[in-house]
Structure 1
Amino acid sequence: MKHLVKTLAMSLALTTSLGAIAKDTIKVGFVYVSPTGEAGWTYTHDEARKHVEKKFGDKVSTTYVESVAEGADSERVIRQLAKKGHDLIFTTSFGYMNPTIKVAKRYPNIKFEHATGYKQAKNVGVYFDRMYESRYLSGVIAAHMSKSNIAGFVASFPIPEVLRSINAFTLGFKSVKPDAKVKVVWVNSWFDPGKEREASDSLIDQGADVITQHTDSPAPVQAAEAAGIYAIGSHSDMSEYGKNAHLTAVIHNFNEFYEQRVQEVLDGTWQSENVWGGLNTGMTRLGEFNEVIPENVIADVEVLTTKIASGELHPFAGPLKNQAGEIMVPAGEIPQDSELLKMNYLVDGVEGKLN
């Protein structure tokens, strides 16, 4: 009996030292880089937050702060959420990475999840979806629908996440039309409808008849609708902003991931992880298809989806050349995740410079 009591005490002490204590209720905070809105990157995260509330009911209370600038502002907001007793905090933009790590050091008993980053700590996990897989598929669709063989890409910042998107879209586009071009305009913002609209109009003036984006507002889709051309939405379905233009969208799905991580904090089993889910997990996918897309194109995309999900096809499989014609991935090779996470070049077929 004494041995049993001693064992239980040691087990409790170990559990406490790891912070792995089950809880009846928890507070979960979310930090957003743009308004929640009705479409886009932040919208998908807020939909996941609502999913968590519906799933857990009274066990979980959530708080969110939107339109938080990256840098000093985000550190202040993250710290405020920590001070207010949140048990789990999701920070949902690349520029929140270092502030998250800094705050996490001061609050070791709070769990943090950072989206799109690469720095982990004992109480900081990172997560993202392999949206480049869906980007590749969207490029295939865009190529089939383009007559000018020119696509326009409204881009936010020249970081690996965005470069993978541009490159994957271009590779999908060129898999159908090898001589096609993808023109890029940088807006240096995640969310700026005015700049995004100006960039889209500029690309249309340069001959692009399909517009896509790695930005948060539906302005590019609206520009395409006004110009009578096509668009690929980003982050969420944007069809309501361009009924005729919107072919499909590259969509994130964080619902199940958020649910899982919240459950683990409730159970006391949460551990820092690096999660990068693809088509095979449902973390990324294409949205509904516009009825103007031919059935044979949809059938081809469904086959490609299965091949990517199974690992038979990799969007960045070699030979892969950059804009200068240099081999970045040799023939017959597939880049490691560590290489993809550091991608710092644009592929052959992209017209535009790294800002």
Structure 2
Amino acid sequence: MSEITSLPLSRRSLIVGAGATAAMLAGTRTGLAADPLKVGFVYVGPIGDHGYSYSHDLGRKAVEAEFGDRVKVTFVENVNEGPDSERVIRQLATAGNGLIFSTSFGFMQPTIRVARQFPKVVFEHATGYMRADNVGIYNGRFYEGRAVLGTIAGLVSKTGSVGYVASFPIPEVIMGINAFLLAARKVRPDLTVKVIWLNSWYDPGKEADAAKALIDGGADVIAQHVDSPAAMQVAEARGAYAFGQASDMSRFAPRAHLTAIVYDWAPYYKERVKLVLDGAWKSDDTWWGLKEGLIRMAPYNPSLPEEIRKQADAVRDAIAAGTLQPFAGPVKDQKGAVRIAAGETISDADLLKMDWLVEGVQS
């Protein structure tokens, strides 16, 4: 078994030797140029979640539309993180898929293990940090969009209390909560965020119950890092505001839905498939956000005042331009300790291992 080593010059990843080289992978595709490239996608939720897995599946469909009969694309949905995902990923490799996208954080170790056994197969893993010669990683800077949502929440909340329905306390989710509150407090310094952890990416019943509890506790705005529109539908029924997750969810809550972070994976998927088809793929570490268009904002609710729209747009545009850093110091954690000093910002490496919540988050 290859040894895991840190790559000092890398922005955020670990390289795991898998015994394959870019030249070997390129040569494999060249030799099969006459055959369609078989591409497999593994999703943690159903494609009908209208959130994260749904957004990835739109990217899959874009690949089919772009490359036609040059590819043969399949997907497996509702795959549990852990042993189930390793079994599914291995089955896709055994079935002759030359490129496999595993799209959830908990698929990371299973992807690495299967990649060691199939050095001629190309693997791409979303939201993780472990790479190999035949494993690339990719991620979205979701926290950038959440800073825009936080700005809006701070401007529309009357109670100063926002509810946050969260999945797992992993860095991706924690940095989103923190960016949301830091942005909200720039426009309303007394605002607090109450988090309910579900330890699930997709469970509409639990999501609805959490939203009800948060609203009963005084929240008049609901944010979420879970994948169904259930929490927003509760907000609609209870007279609160809400934000969608991963796609425009306004049709489920036309009054409550103020906007949403939209994940657009299509450009990335098309780029990576083309590289494999051309025999030019190599393991890479990609983290795109508002600037690159992987993250964008859904249309604002027509009821949102123009002044609030302008402030939200200004935050979005400044982040995309690199002139505004959502984690610029000073930043304190829940215990009041300074985590980011005044005049400083946080590195990507520290973002990707963030395990602390900012001052004002109640969890």
TM-score, normalisation: structure 2? 0.92
Question: Where does residue 7 of structure 1 map in the other structure?
Answer: none
> Is the 8 Å Cα contact of residues 25 and 121 (structure 2) preserved in structure 1?
no
Q: Kindly provide the CA deviation profile for residues 155-202 of structure 1, in whole angstroms up to 9, marking residues without a partner as x.
A: 000000000111111111111100111000001100011111111100
Correspondences of 1:284-303 after superposition (within 5 Å): 284-303=295-314
Question: Where does residue 341 of structure 2 map in the other structure?
Answer: 330
3-state SS of 2:359 partner: coil
Tell me how large the CA RMSD over aligned residues is: 1.2
Question: Where does residue 83 of structure 1 map in the other structure?
Answer: 94
Matching residue's letter, 1:171 = L
Correspondences of 1:1-355 after superposition (within 5 Å): 17-20=24-27, 21-22=29-30, 23-24=33-34, 25-37=36-48, 39-352=50-363
CA distance in 1, matches of 2:279, 2:148: 39
CA distance in 1, matches of 2:208, 2:116: 40
> Is the 8 Å Cα contact of residues 49 and 227 (structure 2) preserved in structure 1?
no
Higher Rg: 1
3-state SS of 2:132 partner: coil
Q: Kindly provide the CA deviation profile for residues 5-48 of structure 1, in whole angstroms up to 9, marking residues without a partner as x.
A: xxxxxxxxx98535444334201000001100051000000000
Name the count of aligned residue pairs: 339
CA distance in 2, matches of 1:15, 1:259: 19
3-state SS of 1:89 partner: strand
> Is the 8 Å Cα contact of residues 19 and 109 (structure 1) preserved in structure 2?
no
> Is the 8 Å Cα contact of residues 91 and 100 (structure 1) preserved in structure 2?
yes
CA distance in 2, matches of 1:90, 1:73: 15
CA distance in 2, matches of 1:211, 1:15: 46
Matching residue's letter, 1:62 = V
CA distance in 2, matches of 1:15, 1:93: 24
Matching residue's letter, 2:317 = T
Matching residue's letter, 1:276 = W
3-state SS of 2:190 partner: coil
Question: Where does residue 10 of structure 2 map in the other structure?
Answer: none
CA distance in 1, matches of 2:195, 2:108: 26
CA distance in 2, matches of 1:246, 1:309: 23
CA distance in 2, matches of 1:334, 1:15: 35
Q: CA deviation at 1:292?
A: 1.1
Matching residue's letter, 1:199 = A
Q: Kindly provide the CA deviation profile for residues 46-68 of structure 1, in whole angstroms up to 9, marking residues without a partner as x.
A: 00000000011111111100000
Q: Kindly provide the CA deviation profile for residues 90-142 of structure 1, in whole angstroms up to 9, marking residues without a partner as x.
A: 00111000000000000011111101000000100111110100000011111
CA distance in 2, matches of 1:215, 1:182: 16
Q: CA deviation at 1:346?
A: 0.4
Structure 1, unaligned runs of 5 or more: 1-13
Matching residue's letter, 1:302 = D
CA distance in 1, matches of 2:191, 2:26: 54
> Is the 8 Å Cα contact of residues 189 and 215 (structure 1) preserved in structure 2?
yes
3-state SS of 2:286 partner: strand
3-state SS of 1:285 partner: strand
TM-score, normalisation: structure 1? 0.94
Matching residue's letter, 1:57 = G
Structure 2, unaligned runs of 5 or more: 1-20
Moved segments of 4+, more than 2 Å: 14-25
> Is the 8 Å Cα contact of residues 50 and 249 (structure 2) preserved in structure 1?
yes
Aligned-residue sequence identity (percent) comes to 52
CA distance in 2, matches of 1:82, 1:284: 30
CA distance in 1, matches of 2:88, 2:156: 44
Q: Report the CA distance shift for 1:78/1:349 in structure 2 as closer, same or farther (over 3 A).
A: same
Matching residue's letter, 1:113 = E
3-state SS of 1:200 partner: helix
CA distance in 1, matches of 2:26, 2:121: 9
